[in-house]
Amino acid sequence: MKKRILTGDRPTGPLHLGHYFGSLANRVQLQDEFDTYVLVADVQALTDNFDNPEKVKENVLEVVKDNLAVGVNPKKATIFLQSAIPEIAELTVFFANLVTVSRLQRNPTVKDEMKQKNMQESLPLGFLMYPVSQAADILAVKANLVPVGEDQVPHIEQTREIARSFNKIYGNVFPEPAARVGEMPRLVGLDGKAKMSKSLGNAIYLKDSVEELKKKINKMYTDPTRIKATDPGHIEGNVVFMYLDIFMKNKAMLDSLKDDYKKGQLGDVVIKDYLFNEINNFLTPIRQKRETISDKDAMEVLRDGTERASEVTRETMREVRKAMRLL
Ligand code: TRP
Protein backbone atom coordinates (compact mmCIF):
# COMPACT_ATOMS: atom_id res chain seq x y z
CA MET A 1 0.00 0.00 0.00
CA LYS A 2 1.16 3.53 -0.80
CA LYS A 3 2.17 5.75 2.08
CA ARG A 4 -0.07 8.73 2.69
CA ILE A 5 0.42 12.47 2.45
CA LEU A 6 -1.80 15.05 4.02
CA THR A 7 -1.36 18.75 3.63
CA GLY A 8 -3.68 21.71 3.49
CA ASP A 9 -4.36 25.38 3.08
CA ARG A 10 -6.49 27.88 4.96
CA PRO A 11 -9.03 29.41 2.58
CA THR A 12 -8.47 33.02 3.63
CA GLY A 13 -7.31 34.26 0.24
CA PRO A 14 -5.78 33.03 -2.97
CA LEU A 15 -2.54 31.05 -2.68
CA HIS A 16 0.76 32.78 -3.41
CA LEU A 17 4.31 32.01 -4.49
CA GLY A 18 5.28 31.26 -0.87
CA HIS A 19 2.70 28.47 -0.78
CA TYR A 20 3.96 27.21 -4.10
CA PHE A 21 7.59 26.83 -3.07
CA GLY A 22 6.77 25.78 0.48
CA SER A 23 4.21 23.09 -0.24
CA LEU A 24 2.36 23.05 -3.58
CA ALA A 25 5.40 22.08 -5.66
CA ASN A 26 6.02 19.13 -3.36
CA ARG A 27 2.45 17.90 -3.44
CA VAL A 28 2.50 17.92 -7.25
CA GLN A 29 5.82 16.12 -7.31
CA LEU A 30 4.85 13.50 -4.71
CA GLN A 31 1.27 12.74 -5.79
CA ASP A 32 2.32 9.72 -7.88
CA GLU A 33 4.35 8.12 -5.17
CA PHE A 34 1.98 8.81 -2.27
CA ASP A 35 -1.73 8.50 -1.65
CA THR A 36 -2.22 12.27 -1.35
CA TYR A 37 -4.85 14.21 0.63
CA VAL A 38 -5.18 17.98 0.29
CA LEU A 39 -7.33 19.65 2.90
CA VAL A 40 -9.16 22.92 2.41
CA ALA A 41 -8.96 23.95 6.05
CA ASP A 42 -12.05 26.12 6.43
CA VAL A 43 -12.52 25.25 10.11
CA GLN A 44 -8.94 26.29 10.84
CA ALA A 45 -9.43 29.45 8.75
CA LEU A 46 -12.26 30.40 11.10
CA THR A 47 -9.97 30.27 14.14
CA ASP A 48 -8.74 33.74 13.24
CA ASN A 49 -11.65 34.73 10.99
CA PHE A 50 -14.66 33.58 13.01
CA ASP A 51 -16.20 37.04 12.57
CA ASN A 52 -15.77 36.93 8.80
CA PRO A 53 -17.36 33.72 7.54
CA GLU A 54 -18.04 35.17 4.08
CA LYS A 55 -14.32 35.58 3.47
CA VAL A 56 -13.68 31.94 4.30
CA LYS A 57 -16.57 30.76 2.17
CA GLU A 58 -15.51 32.84 -0.82
CA ASN A 59 -12.02 31.41 -0.77
CA VAL A 60 -12.84 27.71 -0.59
CA LEU A 61 -13.17 27.25 -4.35
CA GLU A 62 -10.30 29.67 -4.99
CA VAL A 63 -7.98 27.38 -3.06
CA VAL A 64 -9.29 24.32 -4.89
CA LYS A 65 -8.63 26.09 -8.21
CA ASP A 66 -5.14 27.13 -7.15
CA ASN A 67 -4.29 23.52 -6.35
CA LEU A 68 -5.67 22.28 -9.67
CA ALA A 69 -3.98 25.10 -11.60
CA VAL A 70 -0.50 24.18 -10.38
CA GLY A 71 -1.03 20.54 -11.27
CA VAL A 72 -2.54 18.75 -8.29
CA ASN A 73 -4.40 16.02 -10.15
CA PRO A 74 -7.79 15.05 -8.68
CA LYS A 75 -7.40 11.55 -10.12
CA LYS A 76 -4.36 11.04 -7.92
CA ALA A 77 -4.97 13.41 -5.01
CA THR A 78 -8.04 13.73 -2.81
CA ILE A 79 -8.96 17.38 -2.29
CA PHE A 80 -11.47 17.72 0.55
CA LEU A 81 -13.24 20.14 2.87
CA GLN A 82 -12.48 20.16 6.58
CA SER A 83 -15.93 21.30 7.77
CA ALA A 84 -17.56 18.37 5.99
CA ILE A 85 -15.55 15.87 8.04
CA PRO A 86 -16.96 15.84 11.60
CA GLU A 87 -14.46 13.09 12.50
CA ILE A 88 -11.72 15.75 12.53
CA ALA A 89 -13.62 17.78 15.12
CA GLU A 90 -14.21 14.66 17.18
CA LEU A 91 -10.58 13.67 17.07
CA THR A 92 -9.60 17.22 18.08
CA VAL A 93 -11.59 16.79 21.31
CA PHE A 94 -9.82 13.53 22.13
CA PHE A 95 -6.40 14.99 21.31
CA ALA A 96 -7.04 18.08 23.46
CA ASN A 97 -6.52 15.86 26.53
CA LEU A 98 -3.01 15.03 25.40
CA VAL A 99 -1.68 18.59 25.07
CA THR A 100 -0.97 21.19 27.72
CA VAL A 101 -1.82 24.86 27.38
CA SER A 102 1.79 25.81 28.10
CA ARG A 103 3.02 23.52 25.33
CA LEU A 104 0.73 25.32 22.87
CA GLN A 105 1.86 28.72 24.15
CA ARG A 106 5.46 27.77 23.42
CA ASN A 107 4.74 26.97 19.76
CA PRO A 108 6.79 29.59 17.85
CA THR A 109 4.36 29.83 14.92
CA VAL A 110 1.40 30.36 17.25
CA LYS A 111 3.45 33.00 19.07
CA ASP A 112 4.29 34.87 15.84
CA GLU A 113 0.69 34.78 14.70
CA MET A 114 -0.58 35.99 18.09
CA LYS A 115 1.73 38.96 17.86
CA GLN A 116 0.77 39.70 14.28
CA LYS A 117 -2.95 39.50 15.05
CA ASN A 118 -2.73 41.38 18.36
CA MET A 119 -4.06 38.45 20.30
CA GLN A 120 -1.80 38.82 23.34
CA GLU A 121 -4.54 40.61 25.25
CA SER A 122 -7.41 38.28 24.48
CA LEU A 123 -6.52 34.94 22.99
CA PRO A 124 -9.39 32.83 21.68
CA LEU A 125 -9.18 29.24 22.88
CA GLY A 126 -9.97 28.05 19.37
CA PHE A 127 -6.94 29.85 18.01
CA LEU A 128 -4.58 28.59 20.70
CA MET A 129 -5.58 25.03 19.98
CA TYR A 130 -5.58 25.08 16.21
CA PRO A 131 -2.36 23.02 16.18
CA VAL A 132 -4.34 20.30 17.98
CA SER A 133 -6.97 20.41 15.29
CA GLN A 134 -4.20 20.36 12.68
CA ALA A 135 -2.84 17.19 14.29
CA ALA A 136 -6.35 15.75 13.90
CA ASP A 137 -6.36 16.75 10.19
CA ILE A 138 -3.15 14.87 9.66
CA LEU A 139 -3.82 11.83 11.81
CA ALA A 140 -7.47 11.38 10.75
CA VAL A 141 -6.09 10.03 7.47
CA LYS A 142 -3.03 8.49 9.17
CA ALA A 143 -0.65 10.48 7.02
CA ASN A 144 3.03 9.58 7.01
CA LEU A 145 4.31 12.71 5.33
CA VAL A 146 3.24 16.37 5.45
CA PRO A 147 4.59 18.73 2.75
CA VAL A 148 4.60 22.20 4.30
CA GLY A 149 6.39 25.51 4.49
CA GLU A 150 8.96 26.02 7.22
CA ASP A 151 6.51 27.88 9.48
CA GLN A 152 4.42 24.72 9.83
CA VAL A 153 7.20 22.50 11.15
CA PRO A 154 6.34 23.19 14.84
CA HIS A 155 2.82 21.93 14.16
CA ILE A 156 4.11 18.70 12.70
CA GLU A 157 6.34 18.24 15.74
CA GLN A 158 3.26 18.78 17.91
CA THR A 159 1.40 16.20 15.80
CA ARG A 160 4.15 13.64 16.37
CA GLU A 161 3.98 14.20 20.11
CA ILE A 162 0.23 13.72 20.09
CA ALA A 163 0.49 10.53 18.02
CA ARG A 164 3.18 9.18 20.34
CA SER A 165 1.23 9.88 23.49
CA PHE A 166 -2.04 8.53 22.02
CA ASN A 167 -0.31 5.31 20.98
CA LYS A 168 1.31 4.92 24.36
CA ILE A 169 -1.89 5.37 26.34
CA TYR A 170 -4.50 3.70 24.12
CA GLY A 171 -2.54 1.39 21.83
CA ASN A 172 -0.85 1.77 18.51
CA VAL A 173 -3.19 3.51 16.06
CA PHE A 174 -1.26 6.38 14.48
CA PRO A 175 1.94 6.78 12.47
CA GLU A 176 4.34 9.56 13.51
CA PRO A 177 4.26 11.78 10.44
CA ALA A 178 7.29 13.65 9.12
CA ALA A 179 7.34 17.16 7.71
CA ARG A 180 8.68 17.67 4.19
CA VAL A 181 9.72 21.26 3.68
CA GLY A 182 9.98 22.64 0.15
CA GLU A 183 13.29 23.37 -1.54
CA MET A 184 12.66 27.02 -0.81
CA PRO A 185 11.33 26.76 2.71
CA ARG A 186 10.55 30.43 3.13
CA LEU A 187 10.06 33.07 0.48
CA VAL A 188 10.63 36.65 1.63
CA GLY A 189 7.82 39.14 1.09
CA LEU A 190 7.84 41.85 -1.58
CA ASP A 191 8.71 44.30 1.20
CA GLY A 192 11.69 42.21 2.34
CA LYS A 193 9.84 40.97 5.45
CA ALA A 194 10.77 37.46 6.54
CA LYS A 195 7.70 35.78 5.11
CA MET A 196 5.40 36.19 2.13
CA SER A 197 1.93 36.31 3.58
CA LYS A 198 -1.61 37.25 2.64
CA SER A 199 -2.17 39.07 5.90
CA LEU A 200 1.01 41.12 5.54
CA GLY A 201 -0.11 42.16 2.05
CA ASN A 202 3.31 41.40 0.56
CA ALA A 203 2.46 38.46 -1.68
CA ILE A 204 2.38 37.60 -5.37
CA TYR A 205 -0.65 35.42 -5.96
CA LEU A 206 -0.65 32.52 -8.39
CA LYS A 207 -3.72 34.09 -10.01
CA ASP A 208 -2.34 37.64 -10.29
CA SER A 209 -2.94 39.17 -13.69
CA VAL A 210 -0.08 40.54 -15.81
CA GLU A 211 -1.01 44.06 -14.68
CA GLU A 212 -1.14 43.16 -10.99
CA LEU A 213 2.19 41.39 -11.25
CA LYS A 214 3.74 44.40 -12.95
CA LYS A 215 2.45 46.76 -10.26
CA LYS A 216 3.72 44.58 -7.43
CA ILE A 217 7.17 44.18 -8.90
CA ASN A 218 7.43 47.92 -9.48
CA LYS A 219 6.79 48.49 -5.79
CA MET A 220 9.26 45.84 -4.69
CA TYR A 221 12.11 46.77 -2.34
CA THR A 222 15.60 47.01 -3.83
CA ASP A 223 18.56 48.81 -2.32
CA PRO A 224 17.55 51.58 0.11
CA THR A 225 21.06 53.10 0.09
CA ARG A 226 20.88 53.85 -3.57
CA ILE A 227 19.57 57.26 -4.58
CA LYS A 228 20.49 57.40 -8.26
CA ALA A 229 20.80 54.56 -10.76
CA THR A 230 24.48 55.40 -11.12
CA ASP A 231 25.21 54.84 -7.40
CA PRO A 232 26.87 51.47 -6.74
CA GLY A 233 24.10 48.99 -5.84
CA HIS A 234 23.92 46.26 -3.22
CA ILE A 235 22.85 42.71 -3.94
CA GLU A 236 22.75 41.50 -0.33
CA GLY A 237 19.29 41.98 1.14
CA ASN A 238 17.97 43.22 -2.19
CA VAL A 239 14.58 41.59 -2.66
CA VAL A 240 14.63 41.80 -6.46
CA PHE A 241 17.89 39.85 -6.58
CA MET A 242 16.64 37.32 -4.02
CA TYR A 243 13.78 36.60 -6.37
CA LEU A 244 16.00 36.62 -9.46
CA ASP A 245 18.15 33.98 -7.73
CA ILE A 246 15.07 31.79 -7.62
CA PHE A 247 13.46 32.52 -10.96
CA MET A 248 16.29 33.26 -13.38
CA LYS A 249 17.50 30.02 -14.91
CA ASN A 250 20.34 31.66 -16.83
CA LYS A 251 22.88 32.03 -14.03
CA ALA A 252 25.64 33.50 -16.22
CA MET A 253 23.27 36.26 -17.24
CA LEU A 254 22.25 36.84 -13.64
CA ASP A 255 25.89 37.12 -12.54
CA SER A 256 26.55 39.74 -15.16
CA LEU A 257 23.42 41.68 -14.11
CA LYS A 258 24.70 41.60 -10.53
CA ASP A 259 28.12 42.89 -11.61
CA ASP A 260 26.62 45.76 -13.54
CA TYR A 261 24.26 46.60 -10.70
CA LYS A 262 27.11 46.71 -8.19
CA LYS A 263 29.05 49.04 -10.46
CA GLY A 264 26.09 51.39 -10.77
CA GLN A 265 25.56 50.59 -14.43
CA LEU A 266 22.11 49.13 -14.11
CA GLY A 267 18.95 50.78 -12.78
CA ASP A 268 16.20 49.22 -10.67
CA VAL A 269 13.77 49.57 -13.56
CA VAL A 270 15.88 47.25 -15.70
CA ILE A 271 16.34 44.51 -13.11
CA LYS A 272 12.65 44.68 -12.28
CA ASP A 273 11.88 44.19 -15.94
CA TYR A 274 13.94 41.02 -15.97
CA LEU A 275 12.20 39.79 -12.85
CA PHE A 276 8.78 40.60 -14.25
CA ASN A 277 9.51 38.49 -17.33
CA GLU A 278 10.77 35.54 -15.33
CA ILE A 279 7.84 35.44 -12.92
CA ASN A 280 5.35 36.12 -15.65
CA ASN A 281 6.70 33.16 -17.64
CA PHE A 282 6.34 31.03 -14.56
CA LEU A 283 2.76 32.16 -13.87
CA THR A 284 1.42 32.13 -17.42
CA PRO A 285 0.67 28.37 -17.68
CA ILE A 286 -0.79 28.40 -14.14
CA ARG A 287 -3.09 31.29 -15.05
CA GLN A 288 -4.09 29.58 -18.29
CA LYS A 289 -4.93 26.33 -16.55
CA ARG A 290 -6.90 28.20 -13.89
CA GLU A 291 -9.04 29.87 -16.52
CA THR A 292 -10.26 26.50 -17.76
CA ILE A 293 -11.61 25.53 -14.32
CA SER A 294 -15.16 26.66 -13.54
CA ASP A 295 -16.69 26.97 -10.06
CA LYS A 296 -18.75 23.92 -10.93
CA ASP A 297 -15.64 21.89 -11.81
CA ALA A 298 -13.93 22.90 -8.58
CA MET A 299 -17.04 22.08 -6.57
CA GLU A 300 -17.25 18.63 -8.14
CA VAL A 301 -13.62 17.88 -7.34
CA LEU A 302 -14.20 18.97 -3.76
CA ARG A 303 -17.36 16.92 -3.40
CA ASP A 304 -15.78 13.72 -4.78
CA GLY A 305 -12.69 14.22 -2.65
CA THR A 306 -14.69 14.85 0.50
CA GLU A 307 -16.60 11.62 -0.02
CA ARG A 308 -13.38 9.65 -0.39
CA ALA A 309 -11.75 11.32 2.61
CA SER A 310 -14.83 10.70 4.69
CA GLU A 311 -14.53 6.94 4.21
CA VAL A 312 -10.93 7.03 5.38
CA THR A 313 -11.60 9.20 8.44
CA ARG A 314 -14.58 7.11 9.49
CA GLU A 315 -12.40 4.02 9.43
CA THR A 316 -9.77 5.80 11.54
CA MET A 317 -12.40 6.84 14.07
CA ARG A 318 -13.65 3.28 14.42
CA GLU A 319 -10.13 2.30 15.44
CA VAL A 320 -9.75 5.33 17.71
CA ARG A 321 -13.00 4.69 19.57
CA LYS A 322 -12.15 1.04 20.00
CA ALA A 323 -8.68 1.89 21.32
CA MET A 324 -10.19 4.44 23.70
CA ARG A 325 -12.77 1.92 25.01
CA LEU A 326 -15.60 4.15 23.83
CA LEU A 327 -18.87 2.62 22.67
N1 TRP B 1 -1.84 25.65 8.93
C2 TRP B 1 -1.72 25.50 7.51
C3 TRP B 1 -1.46 26.90 6.91
O4 TRP B 1 -1.76 27.89 7.53
C5 TRP B 1 -2.91 24.89 6.85
C6 TRP B 1 -3.23 23.50 7.34
C7 TRP B 1 -4.38 23.10 7.97
C8 TRP B 1 -2.41 22.34 7.21
N9 TRP B 1 -4.34 21.78 8.24
C10 TRP B 1 -3.15 21.28 7.81
C11 TRP B 1 -1.14 22.10 6.68
C12 TRP B 1 -2.61 20.00 7.89
C13 TRP B 1 -0.62 20.82 6.77
C14 TRP B 1 -1.35 19.77 7.37
O15 TRP B 1 -1.00 26.99 5.79
CB 112 within 8 A of CB 289: no
pLDDT of residue 195: 84
268 alpha carbon – ligand 1 mean position (Å): 36
Which residues are CB-neighbours of 37 under 8 A, at least 6 positions away? 4, 5, 6, 7, 77, 78, 80, 141, 143, 309, 312
152 lines ligand 1 (CB under 6 A): yes
- For ligand 1, is residue 41 a contact (CB within 6 Å)? yes
pLDDT recorded at residue 52: 97
> What is the spatial distance between Cα 218 and Cα 196, in angstroms, rounded to a whole number?
17
Averaged pLDDT score across all residues of the chain: 95
Cα of 235 vs its chain's centroid, Å: 28
With beta carbons less than 8 A apart as the criterion, state whether 130 and 47 touch: yes
For residue 23, give every residue at least 6 positions away whose Cβ sits within 8 Å of its Cβ, in sequence order, or none: 7, 9, 147, 148, 149, 182
Going by C-alpha positions, the residue among 163, 112, 206 that lies closest to residue 6 is: 163
pLDDT in tens, 195-232: 898 888 899 999 999 999 999 999 999 998 988 888 99
Quote the CA–CA distance of 271 and 269 in Å, as a whole number. 6
Cβ–ligand 1 contact at 44 (below 6 Å): yes
- Distance, CA 41 to ligand 1 centroid (Å)? 7
Among the listed ranges 33-42, 96-105, 185-194, which one has the minimum average pLDDT value?
A: 185-194
Domains and CATH numbers, the chain: 4-188+295-323 (3.40.50.620), 210-288 (1.10.240.10)
Say how far apart CA 272 and CA 118 lie, in whole Å: 34
Amino acid 17: pLDDT? 96
Find how far residue 228's CA is from the centre of its chain: 38
Q: Provide the whole-model pTM.
A: 0.94
Q: What is the pLDDT of residues 127-167, one digit of tens each?
A: 999 999 999 999 999 999 999 989 999 999 999 999 999 99
Q: Whose CA is nearest to atom 13 of ligand 1?
A: 7
